[in-house]
Structure 1
Amino acid sequence: MKASWHGSLRVRHTLMFGLMFLLAGSVVLGGVMILVQNSMDYSLAVVFSRKIEKYSPAEDFWVADAIATDEVSRKIIMDSMRENLLFKGGLTLLGASLAATAGAWWLSGRLLRPLNTITETAHRIAGRTLHKRIELAGPHSEVKSLADSFDSMLDRLDEAFAGQGRFIANAAHELKTPIALSRTLLDVAMARPDSTPQLQRLGENLLAVNLRHERLIDSLLTLARAEDAVTDRRPVDLAQLAEYALDVTAKAAADQQVQVQAQLAAATVVGDPLLLEQLIRNLVDNAVRYNHRYGFVWVQTLEEARQAEIIVTNTGALISPHEVPALFEPFRRLTDRVGSARGSGLGLSIVRAVAQAHGGDALAIPRPDGGLSVRVILPRGDAARA
């Protein structure tokens, strides 16, 4: 990311070097003019005094006239030399200042190049890519020491985040085994001929709880995978994924009597198909789940020159603008949202994590009449254009 001209360290260094050279050159030029003037005053005084001594003391009138003429000639000569020196010296100083400023610009760029490398790496890391390193080459210096320290810090951060992801993935996998076992036991108990109606109701409730836990574990796995580097990248059409998500949630929308309207245009991006599918499914599922009866859901995909977008808007409870950031935090739900107790609080967290893992972002804007409009922006990439 290039630094702007306003506040650029390179520009400030160049201006400082140029002004310092101009000031130093002006002082030198002023000193030269003073020295030259004093020297010429002395030299002309000697020359004209010798010329005056040739006259006889008896010729006072002619001597006085010669002295007056010599004073005028001396003044004309001094003014001409002063103007000539000031003009030519000023041009020389201006040219030297321009050359010094250009040299200062080039030198500042060379000196600040390692800092620009560190800044660009920091910007890439801010985009959730902890695998980048500066790896600054060259002799040992203060800037190289800073770059090496920055690389060491990134190594520790990368290892910490990788350990966190591995812990979540391992814990989720370990939790799946007892949940699957308990589901099997419940199915067997409910299938017995002598099971009572009370046992059947209890089994159905426990199966519903198990299903919710399985969804929570799957969401944790998706979140852990999204926050890691995306390795599987291929052209994916967001419109096709949106159609699939609408088919999956059609029954839930019908049960809640929510009308779904879609305007799907081809929008191709390069990314992980499974993660992008989960992103869109979470958007549509949230729009249907956190809605009121006889509400509406609008799904739109569009494509621009450099980015593709998917926008999912729904009706629902009123949401304050200051409550929107909490929606993207894991396990954070707004208690006043309709049906919030049925969710795990990971839906929009996964949406933003997947979007940022693909170099994009997710934004949410509350609707004045209630509900939310979530906009996901994803870069297209060269492969998508091809």
Structure 2
Amino acid sequence: MKGSWHGSLRVRHTLMFGLMFLLAGSVVLGGVLILVQNSMDYSLAVVFARKLDKYDPTAEAWIAQVVREDEVSRQIILASMRDNLLFKGGLTLLAVCLVATAGAWWLSGRLLRPLNMITETAHRIAGRTLHKRIELDGPPSEVKSLADSFDSMLDRLDEAFAGQGRFIANAAHELKTPIALNRTLLDVAMARPDTSPQVLRLGENLLAVNVRHERLIDSLLTLARAEDAVTDRRPVDLAQLAGYALDVTAKAAVEQRVQVQARLAAAPVVGDPVLLEQLIRNLVDNAVRYNHPHGFVWVQTLAEAEQAEIIVTNTGALISPHEVPVLFEPFRRLTDRVGSARGSGLGLSIVRAVAQAHGGDALAIPRPDGGLSVRVILPRGDAARS
């Protein structure tokens, strides 16, 4: 059984059953002792009374001596029987109590197995896997009803999340066509020889807005894909993907006057190369974009026995620890802190969604001097053996 022993329902049930059996057995043993002692008192009194009846009643001194001897003998016999019953009865009670406790442990495990299945399913849901069900077999009971209700809830949740993902993907696809048409019309209008300088400046501004919209749509598509199950899994090296991302953002780093330093060690994983590349691109883009002139960006990849990591750290504005969770929410940006609203607010949302879709996670820690350090942890899977 998974989980800590402290607070385990199975342990509590077993201890409670064992304690109740021990108390009940102790009461029974005490009652037996009382009954045996009363019975022996009566039996010995009868025996000694019959013994006295055989002798002359006029021999008072002899009778008194016999009574004293018989009383001592009776006390010795009673004490011996009581001690023998206590010793052997106590050992028997202890042995039976141990057997009963072991039986209680086994029976409690059988009874609590459906609850353990429900708990494991809840843990898988926390890991963003809504496709598993309990599917408890057995006769109708309270636990069976709970498991069936839990499966019905999972069905509704799975359908709701799938519908949300389909809506985002369909909306993004539908928006791509008019945006592409707008870009074409702007290019044609700006290419005309009689276009005035004012129209050219307006067209450049509209093209910049159009580019931002295209990036937003691509980000929405990536987010919708990341929140679905990852089906395309191949061996890939995070260090190689980080090198591609650094090449792509090199021009933006020069324009922002940001120095990029990299320490890329081999970090093989098994996953979707496109999604993982987008994850690293978003990390590096954010680190360059939300920086200050003459700032720095540090990119590091490393691998351990069971997991691979990529850590992207940048200088920039001060960020409070309580503001970090907001960074991972869609369409949320700390414009008052970083002084920029050029992003779509989906960068770190995509990072965490992609990481969790691969069984990992993304963590962020503010730097004391300003800026942020984002650490993405991914399981290596079969990459270590490939």
TM-score range, shorter chain: over 0.9
Deviation track 1:335-379 (CA, whole Å, cap 9, x = no partner) reads 224352111111001111111111111111110100000011111
Equivalences for 1:294-309 in 2 at 5 Å?
294-309=294-309
Q: Partner of 1:214 in structure 2?
A: 214
Q: Is the 8 A contact 2:301 2:310 kept in 1?
A: yes
Q: Partner of 2:362 in structure 1?
A: 362
Counterpart Cα distance in 1 of 2:136 and 2:338: 53
Q: What secondary structure sits across from 2:335 in the alignment? A: coil
Q: Partner of 1:242 in structure 2?
A: 242
Counterpart Cα distance in 2 of 1:379 and 1:72: 81
Counterpart Cα distance in 2 of 1:231 and 1:128: 15
Q: Partner of 2:116 in structure 1?
A: 116
Counterpart Cα distance in 2 of 1:383 and 1:344: 33
Q: Which amino acid aligns with 1:96?
A: V
Judge which range, 196-205 or 30-39, deviates more. 196-205
Judge which range, 175-184 or 136-145, deviates more. 136-145
TM-score (norm 1): 0.98
Counterpart Cα distance in 2 of 1:337 and 1:262: 26
* Pair 1:320-2:326 in alignment: no
Q: Which amino acid aligns with 2:189?
A: A
Counterpart Cα distance in 2 of 1:380 and 1:36: 71
Q: Is the 8 A contact 1:320 1:366 kept in 2?
A: yes
Q: Partner of 2:167 in structure 1?
A: 167
1:271 offset after TM fit, Å? 1.2
Q: Is the 8 A contact 2:268 2:383 kept in 1?
A: no
Q: Partner of 1:379 in structure 2?
A: 379
Deviation track 1:261-296 (CA, whole Å, cap 9, x = no partner) reads 111111111111111111100000000000000000
Identity %: 88
1:151 offset after TM fit, Å? 0.7
Equivalences for 1:105-144 in 2 at 5 Å?
105-144=105-144
1:383 offset after TM fit, Å? 4.6
Counterpart Cα distance in 1 of 2:142 and 2:274: 45
Q: Is the 8 A contact 2:269 2:382 kept in 1?
A: no
Deviation track 1:144-175 (CA, whole Å, cap 9, x = no partner) reads 11111111111111111111100000000000
Deviation track 1:43-76 (CA, whole Å, cap 9, x = no partner) reads 0001111111222123222221111111101100
Counterpart Cα distance in 2 of 1:365 and 1:383: 28
Q: What secondary structure sits across from 2:246 in the alignment? A: helix
Structure 2, unmatched stretches of 5+, are none
Counterpart Cα distance in 2 of 1:91 and 1:382: 55
Deviation track 1:172-224 (CA, whole Å, cap 9, x = no partner) reads 00000000001011111111122222222111111111000000000011111
Q: Partner of 2:44 in structure 1?
A: 44
Q: What secondary structure sits across from 2:317 in the alignment? A: coil
Q: What secondary structure sits across from 1:65 in the alignment? A: helix
Counterpart Cα distance in 2 of 1:122 and 1:261: 42
Structure 1, unmatched stretches of 5+, are none
Counterpart Cα distance in 2 of 1:94 and 1:307: 50
Q: Which amino acid aligns with 1:98?
A: L
Q: Partner of 1:95 in structure 2?
A: 95
1:235 offset after TM fit, Å? 1.5
Q: Partner of 2:147 in structure 1?
A: 147
1:226 offset after TM fit, Å? 0.8
Q: What secondary structure sits across from 1:263 in the alignment? A: strand
Q: Partner of 2:66 in structure 1?
A: 66
Counterpart Cα distance in 2 of 1:196 and 1:30: 110
Q: Partner of 2:157 in structure 1?
A: 157
1:86 offset after TM fit, Å? 0.3
